[in-house]
Amino acid sequence: MRNQILLAGIIIALFCVVRSNSAVAAEGEIVKLDKAQFKALIMDYEKNPKAWKFTGKLPVIVDFYADWCGPCRTASPILEELARKYKGKIVVYKVNTDQERELGTVFGISSIPAFLWVPPTGNPTMTSGIGRSADATREQFEKMIQDVLLKK
């Protein structure tokens, strides 16, 4: 019995580690990406350096951020809210520009927060900064989701 409890504990711990390191999260959750995950889930810019070839199925928002960035911390809960609201319609990813400098360079990130809006077809749009308030930021994001990602 004792060994079974120990084994169950190890299995649960391993599941938690694998889930936290995975780029696959439940719908409505934000997923943090590294370079390899970005290339697999969004676009392999090394394989296709001259043409945008989106590999995802749902429209995507990529939040380029840093932990020390105040405006990034303001945008984060709004993106979490929108990820839940548009569950099954869009996917929200985050890329830490301090940890993933190459991605920041590839996408010309010179200030953060910066957002890559990727529709399922066509080319993406890049924006940076947030509104003067949380409500203004939410309104900006909603407009981009409707106009760029969902084309409504």
Q: Which residues are catalytic?
A: 69, 72
Residues in the chain: 152
> Token pair of 120, please?
């399922």
> Token pair of 152, please?
């409504």
Check if the beta carbon of residue 53 is closer than 8 Å to that of residue 122.
no
Q: At what angle do helices 70-85 and 134-144 cross, to 10 degrees?
A: 50
What's the CA angle centered on 114, arms 108 and 120, to 5 degrees?
A: 90
> Token pair of 19, please?
């889930």
**Nearest-angstrom CA–CA distance, 31 and 39:** 14
